[in-house]
């Protein structure tokens, strides 16, 4: 059951990566369609935050994967996004980026450092017996670890929240 | 400015509602497809062996060492008698640690620990390159058993990495690691031939640091 959940989250992370890239291109080219800006961006960002939060809780509380220190910092950034984005989507508040981008930016920086430690364990030094950050609990398709999926989620959420801004 | 009538507003709202349902259906569809892919492609890779199947039953004599300090140069246990551990390897052969008579470099390894996974092949290379002098033995302790973590079971890992020295298998409660004051892995304890602790180091060691540990056990003897 956990293997199925892990693979499903990995597939969703790939979908989120595609969303992040496409939306970033649209932002750079200033061609965000109105339907995306007004109706899809914030609900989709909320859905990504909810799936990421639910996934992290499932893997720690059901699968028993003990979160390491860096996992906790990423959780601190991700969990509030479900509420912030949910409220913003409900009220169609295009100013959500003011809160979301700092939180997602902080989470992204931590996720990048976490990925670096996973790829090069000597950066992390030693293995804390309880919860070492270099431990790869999940590695789907050969590269999708938990902080990699978190990074993709943070980037997709940031892009979507910026895309939701209306011209002033 | 275009005029809006109640009828046109209703049509706009109805259109918005219709689009929302379409977007929601697309979202649910994507999640459903991800789950289907997960069901069809995920493979359970866990080993049939549990911690109870792998864990040893070593006996420990002597006083336990305090937890290793972060600075190996400030180790209050340097010069203390090592606990004497008698246990077995994965095949049931006897392995002893800390008994006077031969200098030992004891490396505590957890198979799931990525730093240990990086360290073990380097140690094997160091031994193969002739770094280990006669009269000094490298003994590993397979410890911190956890069958829920990656790279389980540990015996397959030791074999895969080509480590040919003795491996003492710790018990399920990691009593041997505790007796030697393990704080984290990889963890090294250098024991001289009189059975005294010469040095304790936590972390990955390169060839030069391993040479220095050898000097410590030889110099102390």
Confidence of residue B29 (pLDDT cuts 50, 70, 90): confident
Which residues in chain A touch residue B202, judged by CB atoms under 8 angstroms apart?
126
- A93-132 burial by CB neighbour count: b if 16+ within 10 A, else e? bbebbebbbebbeebbebbebbbebbeebeebbbbbbeeb
E strand or H helix at A77: helix A69-91
- Mean pLDDT throughout A45-62? 94
Q: Residue B6 CB: number of other CB atoms within 10 A?
A: 7
CB contact at 8 A, A158 and A25? no
Residue range B35-57: average pLDDT?
81
Torsion of CA A82, A83, A87, A90, to 10 degrees: 40
User: Does residue B182 sit at the A interface (CB-CB below 8 Å)?
Assistant: yes
CATH architecture, domain B51-219? 3-Layer(aba) Sandwich (3.40)
Q: Encoding tokens for residue B208?
A: 């030069």
CB of A49 closer than 8 Å to CB of A83: no
Q: Which sequence spans correspond to the domains of chain A?
A: 2-163
* Average pLDDT over every residue of B111-136: 92
Instruction: Note whether ipTM > 0.85 here.
Output: no
pLDDT at B1 over 70: no
Q: Which residue of B has its CA nearest to A128?
A: B184
Q: Do B144 and A129 touch (CB under 8 A)?
A: yes
What is the mean pLDDT of the segment spanning A61-74? Answer: 92
Confidence of residue A44 (pLDDT cuts 50, 70, 90): very high
**Measured between CB atoms, which of B27, B45, B113 is closest to A127?**
B113
Tracing tokens 């200098």 back to the chain, one arrives at B103
Whether the CB of A51 is below 8 Å from some CB of chain B: the reply is: yes
| Full DSSP string of B101-170 | TSEEEEEEE-TT-HHHHHHHHHHHHHHHTT-S-TTEEEEEEE-S--TTSSS-SHHHHHHHHT--S-EEEP
pLDDT 10s digits, A91-120:
999 999 999 999 999 999 999 999 999 988
pLDDT band at B182 (very low <50, low <70, confident <90, very high): very high
Number of H helices, E strands in chain A: 7, 0
How many Å apart are CA B106 and CA B167, to the nearest integer?
10
- Choose among B27, B150, B202: nearest Cβ to A126: B202
The residue of chain A nearest to residue B187, with distances taken between CA atoms, is A126
Q: What is the pLDDT of residues B71-112, one digit of tens each?
A: 887 888 888 999 999 999 999 999 999 999 889 999 999 999
Query: B18 near A39, Cβ under 8 Å?
Result: no
Write down the pLDDT at residue B220. Answer: 46
pLDDT of residue B20 exceeding 50, the answer is yes
Question: What is the predicted pLDDT for the residue at B40?
Answer: 80
pLDDT at B221: 42
Share of chain A above pLDDT 90, in %: 74
- Torsion over CA of B52, B58, B64 and B65, rounded to 10 degrees? -80
- Tokens 């360290």 sit at which residue? B119
Q: What distance in Å separates the CA atoms of residue B122 and residue B116, rounded to the nearest whole number?
A: 10
pLDDT single digits (tens) B137-168: 999 999 999 988 889 999 999 999 999 999 99
> In the beta sheet, which residues pair with residue B86?
B59, B96
Is-contact A139 A4, C-beta < 8 A?
Answer: no
B82 in contact with A, Cβ within 8 Å: no
């Amino acid at each position: 059951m956990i293997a199925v959940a892990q693979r499903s989250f990995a597939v969703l992370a790939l979908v989120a990566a595609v969303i992040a890239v496409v939306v970033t291109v649209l932002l750079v080219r200033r061609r965000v369609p109105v339907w995306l800006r007004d109706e899809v961006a914030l609900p989709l960002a909320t859905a990504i935050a909810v799936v990421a939060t639910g996934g992290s809780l499932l893997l720690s509380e059901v699968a028993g994967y003990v979160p390491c220190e860096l996992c906790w910092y990423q959780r601190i950034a991700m969990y509030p996004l479900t509420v912030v984005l949910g409220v913003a989507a409900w009220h169609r508040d295009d100013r959500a980026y003011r809160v979301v981008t700092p939180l997602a930016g902080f989470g992204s920086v931590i996720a990048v450092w976490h990925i670096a430690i996973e790829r090069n364990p000597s950066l992390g030094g030693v293995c804390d017996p309880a919860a070492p950050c270099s431990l790869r609990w999940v590695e789907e398709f050969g590269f999708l670890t938990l902080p990699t999926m978190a990074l993709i989620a943070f980037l997709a959420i940031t892009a979507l929240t910026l895309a939701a801004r209306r011209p002033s | 400015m275009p005029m809006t009538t109640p009828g046109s507003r209703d049509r706009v709202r109805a259109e918005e509602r219709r689009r929302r349902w379409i977007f929601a259906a697309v979202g649910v569809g994507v999640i459903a497809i991800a789950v289907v892919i997960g069901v069809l492609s995920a493979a359970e890779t866990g080993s049939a062996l549990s911690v109870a199947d792998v864990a040893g039953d070593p006996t420990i004599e002597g006083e336990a060492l305090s937890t290793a300090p972060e600075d190996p140069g400030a180790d209050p246990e340097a010069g203390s008698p090592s606990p004497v551990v008698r246990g077995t390897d994965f095949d049931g052969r006897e392995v002893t640690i800390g008994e006077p008579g031969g200098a030992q470099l004891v490396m505590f390894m957890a198979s799931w620990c990525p730093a240990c996974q990086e360290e073990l092949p380097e140690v094997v290379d160091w031994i193969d390159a002739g770094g280990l002098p006669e009269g000094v033995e490298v003994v590993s302790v397979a410890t911190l058993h956890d069958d829920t973590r990656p790279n389980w079971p540990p015996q397959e890992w030791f074999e895969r990495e080509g480590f040919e020295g003795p491996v003492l298998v710790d018990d399920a409660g990691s009593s041997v690691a505790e007796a030697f004051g393990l704080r984290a892995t990889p963890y090294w304890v250098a024991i001289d031939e009189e059975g005294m602790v010469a040095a304790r180091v936590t972390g990955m060691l390169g060839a030069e640091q391993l040479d220095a540990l050898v000097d410590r056990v030889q110099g102390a003897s």
